Chain A
Amino acid sequence: MMNTPQQVKNPSSSLKSRFITRFLGALTKITAEDPISSSSPTRIFQRYRRIKVASNKSMAYSVRSRRIWSRAMLSRFRSRRSAFSGRRSSVKTTNCTTSPPPALIKVTINEKKTAKGGLDMQTDELRELVPGGEAMDVCNLLDETAHYIKCLTTQVQVMRKIVDFYHLSK
């Protein structure tokens, strides 16, 4: 039984290795589909969307149902998949929890915060960022945020490595 030195959730595999396996599988599937023969930006954009969804999905599946945020994310995926039959391009960016304009607005709201009342504003913001955050109390929210941050950093790390491999293989 191999104990990987990273975040060891169960002795046989770690979160990181589970994520890597899933994500690489999805990635190869996406790149093998070969949509770029038509050099249209929409195809490229579709591919980008797919990769992003695959990344978040792989992470959510690697965490399974152990966390509230992963459960919320998975239910989001499932509802989306059932709602839309084939065309993934018609799927709205519900998976994208950040979008540029609201982020800018959030920044200005932060600057206007007061000492005590601002806490509610910020916890609300946090709720928006963390999937499934609306139904959590502050205590659980902070817990989930910590785990979510951990998973996000893993995601970023792995994706960077993959990009480096792409560049190296050239």
Chain B
Amino acid sequence: MADFSEQSYRQPFPFLDIDPTMESLTQFAELNPQSFILDNSAFNFQTFFPLSINDSLFSNQASQGETMSGFIHNSNQSSVSAQPIFSAKTEVEEISNKRKALDILESSSGNSSSSSPQVSETGIKRRNNSGRGKRAKSNEKEMEKPKEVVHVRARRGQATDSHSLAERVRRGKINERLRCLQDIVPGCYKTMGMALMLDEIINYVQSLQNQVEFLSMKLTAASTYYDFNSESDAMERMQRRKAEEAKELERLMREGYVGIGGVACFHSSSTYGPL
């Protein structure tokens, strides 16, 4: 009992730090819409009966494996009332390390680390993903093995020291950003590794910058040509050459983003001026 109260004191504060990073949590909560209603009732029940939480929690785990994830996310949003739950979880965890795991705070761990590095180390609890297959949430991207005070979900067989944890969180963030970039950059497939995707991204940015240059060249040609329709022969010759180059550029641009081809064309059009 004294143990329990001690932990209940320790746990709440890191939990509070997670509050600022709610966006992904709400997203995650949206993923478990049905669990919301169920979890609310369980939630209230558990707040009021801390002593019996251990057993009730365990039985709840048994009954609502999946829904607990949504529950915890919702509890995140009201940190104060979530504290006793969390302390109860500590207790349960300490008692039985091989209990079923709850999927909590994978994304929150990622986001909390974005808010402050200490939070990820001291604020998040982790739980063991034990052998019960139903509970093993292997579809989440950030699961850490619970051994320390960090509230991050752990997968079985992964290192649990704070360094690798922070590293994993950081990698998760980077992967998230890469996924966004994947949608933006054409030609990126999910099956590609990070190196290939970065290659594609670099090529795309280069081609876009080249396109801007080509287009400004084209604009120059267009403005020069149309401003001075009646000029000498020399002027007309130059304009014709420019028009040809502009057509060439247009053709290249119609092929989509050019990459290396754009660079080659850039070479050919470098006769236009020193670059």
Contact = CB atoms under 8 A, between A and B. Distances in A.
Interface stretch (B34-42, B79-87, B97-105, B266-274): B266-274
Contacts, number: 147
B224 A122 contact: no
B208 A153 contact: yes
Contacts of A47: 220, 223-224
A139 B231 contact: no
B185 interface: yes
B210 A98 contact: yes
Question: B177, B219, B274: which has the most chain A beta carbons within 10 Å?
Answer: B219
Interface in B183-206: 184-185, 193-195, 198-199, 201-202, 204-206
A126 interface: yes
B209 interface: yes
Interface stretch (A6-14, A60-68, A105-113): A105-113
B255 to A, nearest CB: 14
Place the interface of chain A in its size category: 35 or more
A119 B195 contact: yes
Contact of A113 (B195, B201, B217): B195
A149 B263 contact: no
A36 interface: yes
Contacts of B211: 152, 156
Contacts of A150: 184
A34 B223 CA distance: 10
Interface string B219-237: 1101110111001101100
A37 B232 CA distance: 10
Interface string A87-119: 000000100111110011011001001010011
A93 B180 CA distance: 31
A146 B205 contact: no
Given A55-B216, A149-B184, A163 B202 contact: no
B238 interface: yes
B185 A149 contact: yes
B174 interface: yes
B238 A39 contact: yes
B250 to A, nearest CB: 8
B199 to A, nearest CB: 6
Given A44-B273, A146-B180, A152 B212 contact: yes
Contacts of A103: 206, 263
A23 to B, nearest CB: 10
B215 A156 contact: yes
B205 A126 contact: yes
B31 interface: no
17 contacts: A30-B223, A36-B227, A44-B224, A45-B273, A45-B274, A55-B212, A93-B275, A100-B270, A119-B195, A122-B198, A126-B201, A126-B205, A145-B205, A152-B211, A156-B211, A160-B215, A163-B215
Interface of B: 170, 173-174, 177-178, 180-181, 184-185, 193-195, 198-199, 201-202, 204-206, 208-213, 215-220, 222-224, 226-228, 231-232, 234-235, 238, 242, 253, 260, 263, 266-267, 270, 272-275
